[in-house]
Amino acid sequence: MNDYPWKKVVINILIIIILTSGFYYIMTHLYINPENINVVSVDFERNKIINSRNFDGEKKLFLYDIKNKSGIALIAGDGDDIGPSFSPDFKEIAFTSDRNSSSCHIYKIGLDGKNLKQITFSDTHIENAVSYGATEITYKGKNYGYPILYFKTSKDKYNISLWLHVDGLGERLLANDKDISHYSWSKKGQHIFIIKKYKEIFISNFDPMNPFSKENPNFLNNAKYIKTTKHIIKDIIPGKNENSFIIWHENSLDIYEYINDKNNPVKLLKTIKLPVGTKFISSSISNNGHILVGSSLDKLESINVM
């Protein structure tokens, strides 16, 4: 009996599995790769942006003045510094860097480029931009500052997990799920929005008075599914209030409000068409309800999302 057809079938199946796995790996890392961080942290009051730019082949923190269209490198040193974010009080910047090891860790630094401090030390690799919660942690009567969210990946960069860090209290695993593609704090930091598979939106509560309690986010158990979008989600940012959020698609922004209705948990408030070639949006909204969008940091424009 000729078994060649069976061998051919087995080979074809193996090829399909390999190609499918490779495609899934690429999609899983498309938006968490530091090269694709296009949501920038903005200080609207002082017209400043903090982001990462190439200097002599390495990525360094770049403090950019929106009005003057100029900026300065904030800190020197070996390695790449990526994904920076202003703290809510605009006194410091958190970012990820491989400056002291082969893995990326989270660091903090003052806006004057001084007081550099490493705050995570685990062996796993930290990916993407860090994200500050807007409410300071007060635990057992003591203030611990603002919490930070971030992704970690395994050494093979296939397994993805979402973590919370609080200075003085350490870090906590929130979700170990390779399907998570994006996350965002709510406006006041009392909720966390999570995107899975680039289309599925979930929400989870967060208690700043007890950040490591069982009541706080445990994605697998407590996050509520609220919507699946038709189009791929590029990112998510907080909305104008605690229950609203903004979804960035390729060519548009969708503004939603979480209304906690059993049959229809979210309401679409507005869809805004983005300018052609938009590559950057601000990670937050100004007090008067505007965000910045543009094809480059030199060509940003303000859009009303209220």
270, part of any domain: no
Residues 123 and 216 in one domain: yes
Tokens 């950040």: give the residue: 211
Residues 137 and 24 in one domain: no
Rg for the chain, CA atoms, rounded:
20
Residues 76 and 222 in one domain: yes
Residue type present at position 122 = S
88 φ, ψ (degrees, to nearest 5)? -60, -25
Q: What is the number of domains present in the chain?
A: 2
Q: What percent of the chain has pLDDT over 90?
A: 32
* Interval 144-202: pLDDT, tens: 999 999 988 766 656 778 888 998 888 888 888 788 888 999 999 999 999 999 999 99
Q: What is the pLDDT of residue 219?
A: 53
Residues 84 and 183 in one domain: yes
Q: What is the pLDDT of residue 29?
A: 33
Q: Which of 212, 233, 254 lies at the terminal end of a domain, its last residue? A: 233
Domain extent at residue 90:
43-233
Q: What is the pLDDT of residue 242?
A: 92
Q: Which of 200, 233, 266 lies at the terminal end of a domain, its last residue? A: 233
299, part of any domain: no
Q: What is the pLDDT of residue 36?
A: 42
80, part of any domain: yes
219, part of any domain: yes
35, part of any domain: no
Residues 7 and 144 in one domain: no
Q: How does the average pLDDT of the chain come out, rounded?
A: 81
Residues 2 and 62 in one domain: no
Give the integer Cα–Cα distance in Å for 27 and 35.
Answer: 14
What is the domain-level CATH number for residue 123? 2.120.10.30
Give the integer Cα–Cα distance in Å for 298 and 306.
Answer: 24
Residues 144 and 13 in one domain: no
Q: What is the pLDDT of residue 4?
A: 53
Q: What is the pLDDT of residue 157?
A: 58
Q: What is the pLDDT of residue 95?
A: 92
Residues 83 and 163 in one domain: yes
Residues 219 and 91 in one domain: yes
292, part of any domain: no
* Interval 193-222: pLDDT, tens: 999 999 999 998 888 887 776 555 555 567
The stretch 238-258 carries a mean pLDDT of 93
**Any long-range contacts for 247-251 (C-beta under 8 Å, 24+ apart)?**
247/201, 248/39, 248/281, 251/278
**Structure tokens of 196?**
């899975």
**Residues sharing a CB contact under 8 Å with residue 170, sequence separation 6 or more, in sequence order:** none
The stretch 260-273 carries a mean pLDDT of 88
Q: Which of 211, 233, 255 lies at the terminal end of a domain, its last residue? A: 233
Give the integer Cα–Cα distance in Å for 240 and 306.
Answer: 7
Q: Cα–Cα distances in Å, from 252 out to 114, 230, 274?
A: 38, 12, 5
275, part of any domain: no
Residues 155 and 188 in one domain: yes
Q: Cα–Cα distances in Å, from 43 out to 50, 81, 246, 282, 292?
A: 8, 19, 19, 10, 11
Residues 63 and 96 in one domain: yes
pLDDT at 136 over 70: yes
Residues 228 and 79 in one domain: yes
Mapping DSSP to helix (H, G, I), strand (E, B) and coil, where does residue 11 land?
A: helix
258, part of any domain: no
